[in-house]
Amino acid sequence: MAVKEIDINCDMGESFGDYSFGSDEKIFPYITSCNVACGFHAGDPVHIEQTLRQAKAHGVKIGAHPSYPDLKGFGRRYLKMAPAELYASVKYQISAIKGMAESMGMKLSYVKPHGALYHVVSDDESEAHTMLQAIRDIDDQLYVVGLAGSPMKSIADQASIKFVSEAFADRRYMPNGRLLPRTIPGAVLIAPSEVAAQVVSLVMEQRVLDEKNEYLTVEAETICLHSDHPKIHHIVKAIDEALAERNIPKLAFSS
């Protein structure tokens, strides 16, 4: 299979108030797209502004990273919301990032839901349509990033929203193509060499080893990193070196 370029995205701007998470300034040189926390699971206006400035300085594409309103749970808990409430919540979050970006001469390129919202809309047609309607009503040219191999692609196609399939560099997969829950030991890959090897496998062979140590096909256009990973600084360097050794260019999917 021919080697192609790959987009590397990362969840960024997750610090808020007196709480600091990750070292975004050290990660930006290694990524091509950044998912900016909108304040509902992490982030605040000051850190959104800082994140956008860094993205602009490094030429990194920006996306809104909306979530359920779950600051205490980091957006990783499912919250049952009425459709009108979910619609307004998503629209509010995306609008904040879009407006701040445009005030700085930047363009919002895509939306990637965070945490529990990401996983719910991957399979729940009703919630997916609600989220996609919010996106369309803001800007129907925005891409939406979702889990590779999930029904979300067909749902987005129905809504005439451009879908970008995503895989994860540092997460273990289940045989059904879903991510192994974080509550299960081994769900998060720790060793930088193991993470880099998974990225290379995803790009060059479009497959990963699942929790049963069997190969699973995953066709992805973008690969996600997590800025709060304990070894993120070593991981971004390991991935960069692994891709460079194989002459695989990094390029934002929305370029």
Distances, alpha carbon 48 to alpha carbons 52, 68, 81, 211, 234, in Å: 6, 18, 25, 36, 25
Q: What is the pLDDT of residue 228?
A: 82
Tokens of 191: 């060793």
Tokens of 218: 């995953």
Q: What is the pLDDT of residue 253?
A: 87
Asked if 94 and 66 count as a contact pair (C-beta separation under 8 A), the reply is yes
Q: Which residue has the higher pLDDT, 201 or 254?
A: 201
Q: Which residues, at least 6 apart from 84, have a Cβ–Cβ distance to it below 8 Å?
A: none
Whole-number average pLDDT of the chain: 93
- Could you read off the pLDDT of 21-48 as tens digits, one per residue? 667 889 999 999 999 999 999 989 999 9
Q: What is the pLDDT of residue 3?
A: 60
- The model's pTM is 0.94
Q: Which residue has the higher pLDDT, 75 or 96?
A: 96
Q: What is the pLDDT of residue 1?
A: 47
- Could you read off the pLDDT of 178-225 as tens digits, one per residue? 999 988 999 999 999 999 999 999 999 999 999 999 999 999 999 999
Cβ-defined contacts of 101-107 (< 8 Å, 24+): 101/52, 101/62, 104/52, 104/53, 104/56, 105/56, 106/52, 106/55, 106/56, 106/62, 107/62
Q: What is the DSSP letter of 178?
A: S
For each of the domains in the chain, give its residue range(s) and CATH number, in order of start: 7-245 (3.20.20.370)
Q: Which of 31, 92, 20 is nearest to 57 (CA)?
A: 31
- Could you read off the pLDDT of 56-83 as tens digits, one per residue? 999 999 999 999 999 989 889 999 999 9
